[in-house]
Amino acid sequence: MVISPLERFKPGAFLSLVTGVLLMGSLSGVAAAQSIRVLLSAEVQRLDVRAEGPIWMTDSKDRGQAIKSAAQITVNGGGFLLNGVRLGSQQLTLRAGEQGLTLVYRKQAGNGHGVGGPGNDPGTTVPVSGLIHLVRKGKGFLLINQVDLEEYVKGVVPAEVNSTWHPEMLKSQAVAARTYALYQQMLSPTREYDVVATVQDQVYRGKHGIDASVQQAVEATRGLVITYQNAPIYAAFSSTAAGLTEDAMNVWSKDLPYLKGVECPFDLESPFYQWKASFKIDALEQNLRQQGFPVGTIATLTPVTFSRAGRVATLRILHSAGELVLRGEDLRKAIGYSLVPSTQFTVDSIGQDIILSGYGAGHAVGMCQWGAKQLAELGYSYSTILNYYYPGTELQNMALTKAPTPPSP
């Protein structure tokens, strides 16, 4: 029967757990609002910013000025130009009223129509709340959004899953996203930012996609995080496991007791459950060389070892200069994570093109998003879903947690 891995859990079985959480402190009782620093982009050359009213700007010496409801900031030597006027500062902070700011940022200095720089970069548009920090670094600047943690979670949920999904799944995603962010913040207090707004951490698009369903899911779980021994966990998640989820040790060499593989026969409806991939062999050769692997002309590509969950752990590549043993995740990185969605694959043929057949999408560590969707539709609560994918964990008010210990390799 498809739900056999969860037979020991019944809808409502976590009532005592949730009751315990509420006794520890009401969700509305989380102390003062906590913010998170999100790196929207690095090496930005130009930022266009607008607001419904005036924008307040301060520099690294706390000198402030009000500017009009629209401004353009570009790189100039070691500093910035604000609407063409040089500013003698390597850091700037922008804020506006309740409606926040709309940002359009580019990694080229041109105007988006090929003027002032090579190519045609139309820019990335993100509506945000909170503060915007610009930190001059390298050839451009870091663009960082310092935002209330709950508002950040609202921006992650619709960027990671469909907001029309079951409310219990949306709550699962909200708690996992909040936990991941808090974990990263606690482990890296000296960095200029806490998380990156891409799949490198978790996708965040500011206010894009926030609707009533997202608002309700985040507010219903406000302040709740997943903990192990009273510390926030590394709450990894990915799209589609297509079988067992994976041990973190096999993917990242992180021995985390709550990131052990569990059965996941719940994601059959995922569009990524089964796939085929085709790519040029010379593209693989070139990309591997760019990543520092000494590889000649490739003759064969053969999976050698597999994880307990059946994913390719290592491959042997025979080439004109010898032999290369490559991790399955390194192959995905070389070809592209979207082209090779997972390491659960077989090599169908190799010639000028390499053809793979596979299952699932993502690293498969922790929560399976499509699996969580199906479990929610079967009647399981978000607390049950999270406890299944992160075994041995508890839900806790984040105000009562302690800092996590970095994982041992």
Counted residue by residue, the chain has a size of 409
Q: Are residues 191 and 73 in the same domain?
A: no
Does residue 145 form part of some domain?
Answer: no
What whole-number distance in Å separates Cα of residue 363 and Cα of residue 345? Answer: 13
Contacts of 68 (CB under 8 A, 6+ apart): 54, 55
pLDDT of residue 110: 58
Total domain count for the chain? 3
pLDDT of residue 120: 63
pLDDT digit string, tens, across residues 43-81:
999 999 999 999 999 998 888 889 888 999 999 888 999
What whole-number distance in Å separates Cα of residue 128 and Cα of residue 68? Answer: 18
Least confident of 115-124, 151-160, 264-273: 115-124
Average pLDDT of span 98-123: 70
pLDDT digit string, tens, across residues 311-347:
999 999 999 999 999 999 999 999 999 999 999 999 9
Does residue 202 form part of some domain?
Answer: yes
Does residue 288 form part of some domain?
Answer: yes
Q: Are residues 353 and 372 in the same domain?
A: no
Checking if the pLDDT of 358 tops 90, the result is: yes
Band of residue 37 on the pLDDT scale cut at 50, 70, 90 = very high
Does residue 152 form part of some domain?
Answer: no
Residue 24: burial class (beta carbons within 10 Å; 0-12, 13-18, 19+)? middle
What whole-number distance in Å separates Cα of residue 76 and Cα of residue 169? Answer: 46
Q: Are residues 235 and 323 in the same domain?
A: no
pLDDT of residue 291: 92
Residue 78: burial class (beta carbons within 10 Å; 0-12, 13-18, 19+)? exposed
Q: Are residues 124 and 182 in the same domain?
A: no
- In the chain, helix, strand, coil percent, each to 5? 25, 35, 40
Q: Are residues 120 and 255 in the same domain?
A: no
pLDDT of residue 88: 83
Does residue 344 form part of some domain?
Answer: yes
Least confident of 24-28, 34-38, 187-191: 24-28
Q: Are residues 258 and 166 in the same domain?
A: yes
Task: Confirm if 254 and 365 have CB atoms less than 8 A apart.
Answer: no
pLDDT of residue 1: 39
Q: How many CB atoms lie under 10 A from the CB of residue 264?
A: 25
pLDDT of residue 122: 83
Does residue 154 form part of some domain?
Answer: no
Does residue 405 form part of some domain?
Answer: no
What whole-number distance in Å separates Cα of residue 153 and Cα of residue 289? Answer: 38
Place of tokens 């609407």: 83
pLDDT digit string, tens, across residues 152-205:
999 999 999 999 999 999 999 999 999 999 999 998 878 899 999 999 999 999
Q: Are residues 307 and 377 in the same domain?
A: no
pLDDT digit string, tens, across residues 195-251:
999 999 999 999 999 999 999 999 999 999 999 999 999 999 999 999 999 999 999
Least confident of 16-25, 116-125, 146-155, 265-274: 16-25
Closest CA to 210 of 149, 163, 160: 163
Closest CA to 16 of 290, 350, 395, 317: 395
Q: Are residues 123 and 78 in the same domain?
A: yes
pLDDT of residue 408: 67
What residue type is assigned to position 250 of the chain? N
pLDDT of residue 28: 35
Does residue 351 form part of some domain?
Answer: yes
pLDDT digit string, tens, across residues 123-161:
999 999 999 999 999 999 999 999 999 999 999 999 999
pLDDT of residue 20: 36
Average pLDDT of span 349-354: 94
Average pLDDT, the chain: 89
Task: Confirm if 329 and 251 have CB atoms less than 8 A apart.
Answer: yes
Q: Are residues 63 and 128 in the same domain?
A: yes
Sign of the torsion formed by the C-alpha atoms of 107, 109, 112 and 117? negative
> Domain range spanning residue 369?
4-32+161-267+364-400
Beta strands in 45-168 (DSSP E): 46-50, 55-59, 64-67, 70-76, 79-82, 85-87, 91-95, 101-106, 124-128, 131-137, 140-148
Q: Are residues 251 and 369 in the same domain?
A: yes
End-to-end CA distance of the chain: 37
Average pLDDT of span 76-88: 90
pLDDT of residue 2: 42
Q: Are residues 233 and 278 in the same domain?
A: no
The upper half-sphere exposure of residue 50, i.e. CA atoms within 13 Å in the direction of its Cβ, equals: 6
Q: Are residues 122 and 84 in the same domain?
A: yes
